[in-house]
Structure 1
């Protein structure tokens, strides 16, 4: 009887861990960049003003959003520049969710007030001449830095329901 109880308990622990594991939910959500972004090269004009651009966030479509999600939060990062390589170094923006598939429309860089219900969660951590009131578009001066975004589907209480990490948006 004791072995049966231990077997049932072990199975229950495995089932609970599997149910709580974010891996299952993470595999269901996907993202696709929209033109002119291709994930390889930052499009002309989408860099920061310091280098002659007037960049905006890349437009995307996020699919497979879990039920209960109310926001998609995007943390933009320069993976080639350590101080801005994680946790939204180039800014964090949230878009309201509209069903299991939502378009993250382009929002202008360098601004704290955003259109269409999008919200600035946190401005870029850049400083000095690179300082931004909002999202900082790619600003490496064309040195080939790798830019990526982490996407999180969150519920009304801020709980992460699904995540896509290190989604490439392009090199500049």
Structure 2
């Protein structure tokens, strides 16, 4: 066999393969196209987002919480609260890389507790997609598995309690809200949103 003949036998099949690859080959029997795989795994409105969104979609997760008056009994125990809890929160659109959701509770009308979790900061274990954060007890650090106190409230004197401090203005009409953050490795905030809890 001559060198020329050997060269043709090696190079021509490779060239033919390259032409078919560029032109686009027919699908193999039983093989699912990549686009179809994406369609099956990314149902609209569910599952992880492909990239970090600019904000999270938030909603109160119990009909008693409407964003208006705080439900009776869910104020702090100092003003008659009975086993007060955080409101359940529906969080949608957690981006890829999310490992927990951090919720910072604040009183918009009392400056010392109006930002950065003035009424407490809690972390819930979570992954990408959507999650319903359960209601958890206030005025305590004893929380269900998967939930922990990141920072207690900053109330002082006889208002001071451990963990999350429920609305505690004594009925002065203060506005309470929460900042919700999707957090990834090393504490990086991937996305966030804000929601009104109610007035008390």
The answer, yes or no, to whether TM exceeds 0.5 is yes
1:50 aligns with 2:50: no
Equivalent of 1:93 in 90, 102, 122: 122
Name 1:130's counterpart in structure 2: 159
Corresponding residue SS for 2:78: helix
Whether contact under 8 Å (2:84, 2:166) holds in the other structure is: yes
Whether contact under 8 Å (2:93, 2:128) holds in the other structure is: no
Corresponding residue SS for 1:150: strand
- How is 1:21-170 mapped onto 2 (pairs within 5 angstroms)? 25-27=53-55, 29-35=56-62, 36-53=64-81, 54-165=83-194, 167-170=195-198
Q: CA deviation at 1:25?
A: 1.8
Aligned length: 147
Q: CA deviation at 1:156?
A: 2.0
- What residue ranges of structure 1 are gaps of 5+ in the alignment? 1-23
Whether contact under 8 Å (2:97, 2:128) holds in the other structure is: no
Higher RCO by CA contacts (8 Å cutoff, separation 6 or greater): 1
Corresponding residue SS for 2:54: helix
TM-score after normalising by structure 2 = 0.71
TM-score after normalising by structure 1 = 0.82
CA RMSD of aligned residues (A): 1.1
Q: CA deviation at 1:34?
A: 1.6
| Larger Rg, first or second structure (1 or 2) | 2
Moved over 2 A (4+): none
Q: CA deviation at 1:116?
A: 2.9
Name 1:16's counterpart in structure 2: none
- CA distance in 2 between counterparts of 1:52 and 1:105 reads 23
Corresponding residue SS for 1:72: strand
Q: Bigger shift: 65-74 or 91-100?
A: 91-100
- What residue ranges of structure 2 are gaps of 5+ in the alignment? 1-51
